[in-house]
Chain A
Amino acid sequence: MIRFDHVTRGPIRNLSFELDRGGTAKILFDSEDRKNQFFRLLTGRRRPETGKILFFGEDLFAHEEDERVALFQRIGVVPADGGMISNLKVWENLLLPAWYHRGLTAQQAE
């Protein structure tokens, strides 16, 4: 499902791994730089200098930015700080993805 194929960028050198659907991985880094760079690569914010990142068998960076973002409708990410938008109430944060992607009204989303 997610595959890193000899990916290099900044402090990340020649990283390869594969994670199948239902699989679990724990990835530890020896520095904050490497961890942050890995996260930027994984979330499609930075393009690898060499190698490929494959999501669902397709090159992540073969897609335009809005298509890469749309992939996150299929992949859940739980940030350490909670992942909320601060100018929305808690229930608005919970409803926002359904409201945005499914074209529901606010009442329908509730």
Chain B
Amino acid sequence: MTLINPGRIGRAVLGATDYWKGFHELFFYTLRRLGALGKPPVRRVLLKQIYFTGVEALGAVTVIAALSGIVITTQVTSLVGQNIALTAKIMLWTVVRELGPLLSAIVIIARSSSATASELASMKIRGEIDHLRFMGIAPGDYLMVPRIAGITLSVVAVTFYFQMTAIVMGYAFAAIMGFMPFVKSITGVISTLSMSEVLVSLLKALVFGLVISITSCYYGLRAIGTVTAIPRAATGAVMRNLLTIFLLDGIITYAFFV
């Protein structure tokens, strides 16, 4: 019985190399072609993407954020009693530094990453990328740039919204249950919060947004063959995104907080 399959390891390494090469090309293409957002049809795609990725995700994000905040305040109070300063610190460490960017990214991966990869894969297989070329429209400008910009902006906005909702709802629940006063607790969080923590959390959100959007476009646009390539593009994008954002979360956390 073969315990280690060199062929599988080799394919994984080649796959990862192809991915990072493709990621690098798409990233710099987007930076060079951001001016395409000035064209009205491209702006329309951008706005639709922001609506689908950001606005439509708010329902799920609100519920997850509220429950996260409630769980954190309840757990901390059960462990250390009413301690406004310690609760504020733990709220910042967990929600602002980690849970906000990570859980927001996971919600968006689940909703938008698979949808974007599937849509682009479907267009590729049906030859619609060429149809855009025949209209004299660069497919990257019309399909990729607004999706990458839209998803990235949405991840940053949704992350900020998650953090605010988790903190407010967590303390609101604690106040209703009589654990600690609401206004004093919020004031405690604001006084403990530093600008660097906010900026690092938004940096994480920006990086996660770029990774999610570019990875989804990469997997969508490399689909070839029959319709079975569409779900493969979707699952490939989701799995790659999950692995990459957890890796990057660890790297950014270590770089800024250790």
Contacts and interface: CB of A to CB of B under 8 A. Distances in A.
Given A84-B131, A86-B123, A69 B136 contact: yes
A71 B136 contact: yes
A69 B137 contact: yes
Interface string B207-251: 000000000000000000000000000000000000000000000
Contacts of A84: 128, 131
A65 B138 contact: yes
Interface in A38-73: 43-45, 65-66, 69-73
Interface string A72-94: 11001101010111110000000
A85 B123 contact: yes
Interface residues of A, number: 28
B7 interface: no
Interface in B121-152: 122-123, 126-128, 130-139, 141-142
B40 A99 contact: yes
B126 A100 contact: no
For chain B, the bracket of interface size reads 20 to 34
B119 A87 contact: yes
A79 B130 CA distance: 9
Tell which of A43, A69, A73, A76 has the most Cβ of chain B within 10 Å.
A69
A97 B41 CA distance: 9
A72 B136 contact: yes
Contact of A77 (B119, B128, B134): B134
Interface stretch (A3-11, A13-21, A22-30, A101-109): A101-109
Which 3 A-B pairs have CB atoms at the shortest separation, nearest pair first?
A73-B136, A77-B134, A72-B136
Interface of B: 39-42, 119, 122-123, 126-128, 130-139, 141-142
12 contacts: A43-B133, A69-B138, A72-B135, A76-B134, A77-B134, A83-B135, A86-B123, A86-B126, A96-B41, A100-B137, A101-B136, A103-B39
Interface of A: 43-45, 65-66, 69-73, 76-77, 79, 81, 83-87, 96-97, 99-101, 103-106
